[in-house]
Amino acid sequence: MLRWFAITSLGLLAVPARADDREQCLGASSSAQDLRRENKLIDARAQLLVCARELCPGVVRRDCAQWLDEVNAAMPTIVIAAKDHLQHDVVAAHVLVDGAAYLDHLDGMAKPIDPGVHKLRLEVAGAPPVQQDIVIREGEKNRIVELTVPPPAEPTPNPVPPPTVAPATPPAVAPALVAPADTPAAGRSRIVPLALGAGALVLAGGALGFELWSESTYDQSKREPDDAKQHDLWSSANTERHVAQVLVGAGVACAGVAAWLWIRDGHESTTPIARRHDPSIQPIVGPGVAGIQAGGRW
């Protein structure tokens, strides 16, 4: 009787742990997909290592293991090397990528980095910092990035300011008559931007609907004990999320075009029409010259 009670107690304690592990696996898998779409491969790989563990459900573990192989293949790596102005290798240096700490010294080893455009900053004690923009391509491995540390800046003496000379006063000259260019008399119709704006709202509503549908399917898959049904629900949820993302992208594009057309047409409709041939009279005053200058059509 005592043995049966101990086994039952251990079983009750194990059930919440398995439920927590299952929830953690599903959450890591979903987060990894979002990070991968944003080209944040380093963070996506960390999440995939969580959901590819043996304690995760079989369907989730298989998908995460496959995605982990794909992320490892696409993950770029770089080797940062630096030399001083005497062409000596630099070891004691700090490297920042996009303002975040990346390396605390240079050891010649390849390090992972997300694909895209990055700003490198190399800091060496006693020398000005070195900055360089680099473009990292997906799947690029062991790329060598070489930087040169400039010599320490020498202090420069304070320059002696030149004597101040009062500038000569130029003669007064009447401004020239310049006719402004003609501008369009009226703006274009605003039907097109209004239609695009309405389309953007419709697309946004559709995207919201598919996203809510996807979240509902994800929640249903988490509660489904059967692996086959869970896999079907998981695939459906992924498809619904992809449709929502496509609708969001289309809606943002429509909204951007509508805003550009609205601003452009509003600017053209409020620009006044230039008047080229209005008569004007300007005084002329200068050394040995005085009079009146008249222009325009009379």
- pLDDT for residue 155: 64
Domain 77-148 CATH superfamily: Carboxypeptidase-like, regulatory domain (2.60.40.1120)
Determine the Cα–Cα distance for residues 221 and 223; give it in Å rounded to an integer: 5
What is the CB-side half-sphere exposure of residue 26 using CA atoms within 13 A?
22
pLDDT score of 41: 95
Beta-sheet strands, E only, within the chain: 77-83, 94-97, 100-103, 111-112, 116-123, 130-136, 143-148, 280-286, 289-295
Per-residue pLDDT at 295: 56
Domain boundaries, the chain: 9-74, 77-148, 191-270
Residue 65: the pLDDT is 95
Q: What is the pLDDT along the chain (298 residues), one digit of tens a residue?
A: 434 333 333 333 334 447 788 899 999 999 999 999 999 999 999 999 999 999 999 999 999 999 999 999 999 999 999 999 899 999 999 999 999 999 999 999 999 999 999 999 999 999 999 999 999 999 999 999 999 999 886 666 677 677 776 666 665 555 544 444 444 434 456 787 778 778 878 878 887 888 887 888 878 777 778 777 777 877 887 887 888 788 878 878 888 877 877 787 766 555 554 444 445 555 555 555 445 555 555 4
The angle at the Cα of 120, spanning 108 to 140, to the nearest 5 degrees, equals 60
